[in-house]
Structure 1
Amino acid sequence: MNLAKLSANGQITVPAEIRRLLGLKSGDKILFFQNQGGEVVLSNASATAIRKAQAAFAGLAEELGVANEDDVQALVDEVRYGKE
């Protein structure tokens, strides 16, 4: 169990073990949310955003026929220079 003390300014220091667990580094944002059981949970906001983006793009590569780096480059070239 890890314990943090709340300062008069409402600030806490996240314990080192929790920072490592969440992959937090200086300047990162922390997301606080309440789960269905009423507990408040914190997570690395950057990691959460990446997971949401991954979920939003799931299956898109297959739909676009992207299988490798050459396919990605072809799409970039198409956007940059128009269809050839």
Structure 2
Amino acid sequence: MDVARISSKGQITIPIEIRKKLGLKEGDKVIFLEKDNNVILINSNRLAFNEFQREMAGEAERAGINSEQDIVDLVREVRQRIWEERYEGNA
């Protein structure tokens, strides 16, 4: 267990072991969640990524994307469509 002192400005230093475990680096934002008279510190980047993963769960399968090759094919199709819209449509 690590202990940190609160400065006169209300600041604390997050111990390095905790920063490493949470993947925090200078400039990152954190979320303070109060629960049962305790504070939980959350890496906001990871939280956003996890929420995105939850929201997107199953979308690939619903779109018929079942393999890495399906993704490659889809990217190729989208690039072709963009090329045609931008360059071939103006000829």
- TM-fit CA distance, 1:62: 0.9
**1:1-84 maps to which residues of 2 (within 5 A)?**
1-35=1-35, 37-80=36-79, 81=81
CA distance in 2, matches of 1:56, 1:29: 22
CA distance in 1, matches of 2:62, 2:37: 39
- TM-fit CA distance, 1:53: 0.5
Q: How many residues align?
A: 81
SS in structure 2 of the partner of residue 28 of structure 1: coil
Identity of aligned residues (%): 44
CA distance in 1, matches of 2:14, 2:8: 16
Q: Which runs of 4+ in 1 moved over 6 A?
A: none
Structure with bigger helix share is 2
- TM-fit CA distance, 1:77: 3.6
Structure 2's unaligned 5+ residue stretches are: 83-91
SS in structure 2 of the partner of residue 52 of structure 1: helix
For the pair shown, the structure with the greater C-alpha radius of gyration is 2
Give the partner amino acid of 1:50. Answer: F
Structure 1's unaligned 5+ residue stretches are: none
Q: CA RMSD in A?
A: 1.7
TM-score w.r.t. the length of structure 2 is: 0.75
- TM-fit CA distance, 1:16: 1.0
